[in-house]
Homo-oligomer: A and B are copies of this chain.
Amino acid sequence: MIKFNAALKTILDSVEIVESESVRLTDALGRVLAEDIYADSDIPGFDNSAMDGFAVKSSDTIGASQDNVKVLEVVEDIKAGDIARKILSHNQAMRIMTGAQIPKGADSVIMVEYTKKNQKSKFKIQNGTKEFVEIYKEVKAADNIRKKAEDIKKNELIISKATQLNCAHIGILASLGRPRVKASRRPKIALLATGDELVDVNQRLGPGKVRSSNTYTLYSQIIKCGCIPKNLGLAKDDPAQLEKKIRLGLDCDIILTSGGVSVGEYDLVKNVLAKIGTNIKFWQVAIRPGKPLVFGKIKKTLVFGLPGNPVSGMVSFEMFVRPAILKMSGQKEDNQKVVNAILEEDINKKKGARHFLRAKTRWKGNVYLTAISGPQGSSLLKPMSLANSLIILEEGQGPVKKGTRVRVRFLG
């Protein structure tokens, strides 16, 4: 039986990166960039005011205080988006709004809070009015000025290929005037739940039947990973029907089946996969839950035969399918957090398989504490719904005592 690390490596080695597509900025959040973004201009594009106030020469403010008010003539108003027509001379100020370009001749901005209108304020002169402002604080050169290129320098590599775009990246792309970017296409994932016992959520539940929860857990996991689901519904334990339905997924990047991969005589999925030409890379992994996992490839499509137990299917998705999706989308690393936590109870474990325990992990004081979120049967969805994390216990680990530090992986 293959071990976890070898299984994951086999899967990742089989992954090819999908092609890219042009995506509108409003749809780009969370998408994986398929091009390097170099800045084609400085941001900001010009020295501008960080405050509402007055652009001045700092030398004109030397010694200014409440008791030593400096009076400057206001020679122009510069609104945001405007540019000054004049050049600032000594003993002059220009009223300037946040974001407006610093006029020539000025080297600093004094905040409006440190000024007041001169008593003389505006008065008529021969051909118009004059206006003055009282300054009662000294400013230094560069005060309250946002320098050109302070955030982003022209030709700088500002977002690299393979980055998953966050909200601030989207803002940077907008600032650089890019209404569209190249991103990896969203992988398309087919989903087929198998088993004579299954009925769909809105069907009558006859004796011996169960509703297919896997259809909905896996569908949700596909959505959560940003992929496009193709729901192939349910298939009976019938080779002809299985083959027909699985073939409907061959236009997808990944096919997920659930159920029918155990050792019983009615476990047909593996045989059908082999029959339609799947290169089966492994079957059964030394993990718990999730041992009966089939992985293979048909032409360019990856096929995961997931176990039918609901939690086994979900954990297999999280630990194997999700990393494949990330790599397929061109993403460099998994951002999902793995931390250490202090175990709040004894856990019984036999050496052999790697275990993934459904757990609640919480920050308390200066550490994470973790405890299982209920019974660990692989069919039990309730403890899975209460979990925010999986405790990872290694193959070589035996029973683990309360107080031990264990590895914990947060879910989503």
Contact = CB atoms under 8 A, between A and B. Distances in A.
Interface of A: 25-26, 28-29, 41, 43-46, 50-53, 79-83, 95, 97-101, 112-113, 146, 150-152, 158-159, 166-179, 195-198, 201-202, 205, 207-217, 219-221, 223-224, 231, 237, 262-267, 308-311, 314, 337-340, 363, 365-367, 375, 377, 379-382, 384-385, 387, 405, 411-412
A35 to B, nearest CB: 16
B381 A217 contact: no
Contacts of A380: 150-151
30 contacts: A26-B216, A28-B220, A41-B205, A43-B381, A45-B210, A52-B265, A52-B266, A52-B267, A53-B264, A79-B237, A83-B207, A146-B377, A159-B385, A166-B385, A166-B412, A167-B224, A168-B311, A168-B384, A168-B385, A170-B216, A170-B217, A171-B214, A171-B217, A172-B382, A172-B385, A174-B216, A177-B205, A337-B363, A338-B363, A366-B405
A208 B151 contact: no
A379 B44 contact: yes
A201 B174 contact: yes
Given A80-B237, A382-B152, A412-B166, A205 B45 contact: yes
Contacts of A173: 201, 216
Contacts of A220: 26, 28-29, 166-167, 170-171
Contact of A381 (B112, B168, B339, B366): B168
B79 A174 contact: no
A167 B221 contact: yes
B100 A379 contact: no
Contacts of A100: 197, 208
Across the A-B interface, the 3 shortest Cβ-Cβ residue pairs: A52-B264, A81-B197, A168-B385
Nearest to A146: B379
Nearest to A335: B388
Given A152-B381, A168-B384, A175-B213, 4 more contacts: A52-B263, A53-B264, A151-B377, A168-B311
A59 B283 CA distance: 34
Given A82-B196, A98-B262, A237-B79, A310 B171 contact: yes
A13 B195 CA distance: 51
